[in-house]
Amino acid sequence: MQKGKGRTSRIRRRKLCRSAESRGVNESYKAEFIELRKWLKDRKFQDSNLAPACFPGTGRGLMSQTSLQEGQMIISLPESCLLTTDTVIRSYLGAYITKWKPPPSPLLALCTFLVSEKHAGDRSLWKPYLEILPKAYTCPVCLEPEVVNLLPKSLKAKAEEQRAHVQEFFASSRDFFSSLQPLFAEAVDSIFSYSALLWAWCTVNTRAVYLRPRQQECLSAEPDTCALAPYLDLLNHSPHVQVKAAFNEETHCYEIRTTSRWRKHEEVFICYGPHDNQRLFLEYGFVSAHNPHACVYVSREILVKYLPSTDKQMDKKISILKDHGYIENLTFGWDGPSWRLLTALKLLSLEAEKFTCWRKVLLGEVISDTNEKTSLDIAQKICYYFIEETTAMLQKVSRMKDEKEALINQLTLVESLWTEELKILRASAETLRTLQTAFP
């Protein structure tokens, strides 16, 4: 047998291939990370477990320097490293925040500090951290309108709400920014621009960790729960891991313990929560492949698309669903139509003489084989409709990628969302075909 041709050799090559795919390129040598580690060390943080690295698929993240065991502390960041509203109030901005009425929100305080420190450049004490923050974000609020128009309808509506919210946040903050003019030689309008505030808003919204609510007298009553955590915020999200993360009041550190095991040189992940891909896209600007929480939402309009228009009880049925909370969060998932979606369709499919059984439907009781079959048939029609719509949107995005090279990154992100939804719909269609075999 030739050397390297045997079974053992093939297994070794497969292992090396998998290892190469998951192993990142260590970036500890880069100037910005050398400076960040020095800055963190001055603030009493040292870490031998993790190193910054660039990974295929996820980009910049943190790599294990050694094998990590279940329950092990993977990072413990001292309070002195956290950027909180306490940091802002203790700074040169504190006097201006304290005297401003009505009191600024905790979010405005954090965003103002970020914009001001970024403007300070080399003079900022937070420069090493600011240098490793993203220069731009991919949340829907940052996307071009023509790209937002390509999103699923429910996500598009939320994206437009998000944009309106940030625009209102900027407009309502301009007077406060004007009060800061004595701190700057340049006009504050040029420093605290919409784009600058948008960057700061996205930084807080996508990277902040949660702290227990606290109340600052000089700030508004809105929850003050956000802290920026340098270095720790390089940890990427995976829906397949679990961690325990919280601020430890005894050690005065923000601590993360893993409930998973990590081999040396693997990317270490945390979980932002059991979010579907539309939520991840909206709040964080990315899509998670093979996300077990991913789903496709069914709107009220599509819910009734394949029901008979002659049903005189339809308005009453819709009213019942609405009153009992069954008109929203109706979805297709990896394992087929959700229980809520099928329940809604069963109630909507009730024949006139069975209408009085609607309470039993909501309790999960089977009314008849006919009702079961009808609801599955309608679910399948809705699923096929979504498959056609999703396929058409992917073709549209593909054409735009050829025509709009400047938008290629944004379009690729939208494409990944639709691609994951198509996978879910195909899995649901297969499940529905299996379920329908029980009703020949």
Q: Give burial (CB, 10 Å; 0-12/13-18/19+) of 140.
A: buried
| Coil, helix or strand at residue 216 | coil
Buried b / exposed e across 374-409, counting CB within 10 Å, b at 16+? bbbbbbbebbeebbebbeebbebbeebbeeeeebee
Task: Give domain 83-228's CATH superfamily.
Answer: set domain protein methyltransferase, domain 1 (3.90.1410.10)
For position 388, what pLDDT does the model report? 98
Q: Strands, E, within 283-368: which ranges?
A: 296-297, 331-333, 336-337
What pairing do the DSSP bridges indicate for beta strands 331-333 and 336-337? antiparallel
Record the pTM. 0.91
Bridge partners (DSSP) of residue 54 are 25, 60
Average pLDDT on 162-180 reads: 97
**What percent of the chain is predicted at pLDDT more than 70?**
95
Q: Give burial (CB, 10 Å; 0-12/13-18/19+) of 294.
A: buried
pLDDT tens for each residue of 202-253: 999 999 999 998 888 999 999 999 999 999 999 999 999 989 999 999 999 9
For position 48, what pLDDT does the model report? 85
Average pLDDT on 188-214 reads: 96
Q: Strands, E, within 114-240: which ranges?
A: 209-210, 226-227, 236-237
For position 46, what pLDDT does the model report? 86
- 16 pLDDT exceeds 80? no
Q: Strands, E, within 238-321: which ranges?
A: 243-248, 253-258, 269-270, 296-297
Q: So where are the chain's domains?
A: 83-228, 296-437
- 21 pLDDT exceeds 50? no
Reported confidence tier of residue 47, pLDDT bands at 50, 70, 90:
confident
Reported confidence tier of residue 147, pLDDT bands at 50, 70, 90:
very high
- 2 pLDDT exceeds 80? no
- 19 pLDDT exceeds 80? no
Reported confidence tier of residue 23, pLDDT bands at 50, 70, 90:
confident
Bridge partners (DSSP) of residue 237 are 270
Q: What angle do CA 396, 400, 401 make, to 5 degrees?
A: 115
Strand arrangement of the beta sheet that strand 331-333 belongs to: 296-297, 331-333, 336-337
Average pLDDT on 163-167 reads: 97
How confident is the prediction for the chain on average, in pLDDT?
A: 92
Task: Give residue for tokens 């995976």.
Answer: 238
- 54 pLDDT exceeds 50? yes
Question: Can you tell me the distance from the alpha carbon of 223 to that of 211, in angstroms, rounded to the nearest whole number?
Answer: 10
Reported confidence tier of residue 57, pLDDT bands at 50, 70, 90:
confident
Q: Output the six-digit token pair for 62.
A: 């943190």
Reported confidence tier of residue 24, pLDDT bands at 50, 70, 90:
confident
For position 14, what pLDDT does the model report? 42
pLDDT tens for each residue of 324-355: 999 999 999 999 999 999 999 999 999 999 99
Distances from the Cα of 65 to the Cα of 23, 231, 315, angstroms: 11, 15, 61
Nearest to 276 by CA among 417, 66, 95, 110: 417
Q: Give burial (CB, 10 Å; 0-12/13-18/19+) of 425.
A: buried
Tell me if 183 sits within 8 A of 92, measured CB to CB.
yes
Lowest mean pLDDT among 134-138, 213-217, 221-225, 297-301: 213-217
- 18 pLDDT exceeds 50? no
Sequence length of the chain is 440
